[in-house]
């Protein structure tokens, strides 16, 4: 920050040392993120991308003994933020993952609670954007199964989420947001190059084989038939 009497980061450092808890809100404060991509001078609180460093340093603990509590996301979800603050106030602690994020919100994946999850299970791809049907993992770059978030559990604005409205998850709670080619799945011999954590290629191929062979036909039909506006019920 230019032109102010005291550099902004000095103010932050002073405040951090006086505070019971320090909470970083949003990907820029948590990991540096977009502004840090092309600017070495940008500082974040305790992680630079995934390396522990940043303005307060890797050993920083606030007065009540916690490292920086990271509410990642671009944007961070307001409910996860407020609930974390309340929990810190009332319980004085909160379980964190290795990136300093409250586990209650970041132990889940965007995928958990997505209304397209049956299509994922049975490997039914969305062929086009703008439809209710199909999973976006195979063509359109969805990062849902690889992104720690509660987006589909605690909805956005109380009503919806990206994947519910047909957008792929872009992985905006992770340190490597924004990755490149966000609307396209990188494939390796027809298989998504990145698989969900702790899923082996062998397991994936076996499950995909079974799923594709036995896909229930209903998953290939439209949810609502557009011509007669009636749900199809033939089997």
Task: Catalog residues that contact ligand SF4 under the rule CB under 6 A.
Answer: 110-111, 114, 116-117, 120, 135-137, 142, 144-145, 163, 169
Q: Which CB atom, from 205 or from 223, has the smaller least distance to another protein?
A: 223
Residue with tokens 């019971």: 20
The pair of structure tokens assigned to 149 is 């978030």
Answer for the pair 100, 70: CB distance below 8 angstroms, yes or no: yes
Q: Does 131 bind another protein (CB under 8 A)?
A: yes
Q: Are 201 and 209 in contact (CB under 8 A)?
A: no
Question: Of these partners, another protein, ligand SF4, none, which one is at the site of residue 4 (CB under 5 to 8 Å by kind)?
Answer: another protein
CB of 50 to ligand SF4, least distance (A): 22
Instruction: Respond yes or no on whether the N-terminal peptide bond of residue 226 is cis (omega within 30° of 0).
Output: no
Residue 130 binds to another protein (criterion: CB under 8 A)? yes
150 interface partner picked from another protein, ligand SF4, none, CB below 5 to 8 A per type: none
Tell me the closest approach of the beta carbon of residue 132 to another protein, in angstroms: 5
What's the burial of 147, exposed, middle or buried (CB within 10 Å: 0-12/13-18/19+)?
buried
Stretch that binds another protein, among 16-24, 111-119, 157-165, 201-209 (CB under 8 A): 157-165
Can you tell me whether residue 28 is helix, strand or coil? helix
């Amino acid at each position: 920050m230019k032109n102010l009497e005291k550099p902004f980061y000095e103010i932050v450092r002073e405040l951090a040392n006086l505070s019971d808890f320090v909470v970083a809100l949003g990907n820029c404060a948590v990991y540096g993120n977009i502004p840090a991509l092309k600017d070495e001078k940008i500082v974040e609180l305790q992680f630079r991308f995934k390396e522990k460093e940043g303005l307060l340093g890797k050993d920083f603990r606030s007065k009540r003994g916690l490292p920086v509590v990271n509410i990642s996301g671009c944007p961070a979800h307001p409910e996860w933020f407020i609930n974390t603050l309340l929990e810190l106030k009332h319980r004085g602690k909160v379980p964190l993952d290795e990136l300093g994020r409250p586990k209650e919100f970041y132990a889940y994946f965007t995928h958990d609670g997505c209304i397209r999850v049956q299509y994922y299970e049975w490997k039914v791809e969305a062929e086009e954007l703008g439809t209710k049907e199909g999973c976006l993992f195979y063509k359109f770059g969805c990062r849902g199964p690889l992104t720690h978030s509660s987006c589909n559990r605690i909805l956005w604005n109380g009503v919806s989420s990206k994947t519910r409205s047909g957008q792929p998850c872009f992985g905006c709670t992770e340190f490597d947001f924004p990755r490149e080619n966000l609307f396209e799945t990188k494939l390796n011999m027809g298989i998504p190059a990145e698989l969900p954590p702790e899923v082996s290629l062998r397991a994936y191929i076996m499950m995909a084989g079974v799923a594709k062979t036995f896909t229930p036909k209903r998953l290939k039909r439209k949810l609502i038939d557009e011509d007669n506006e009636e749900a199809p019920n033939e089997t």
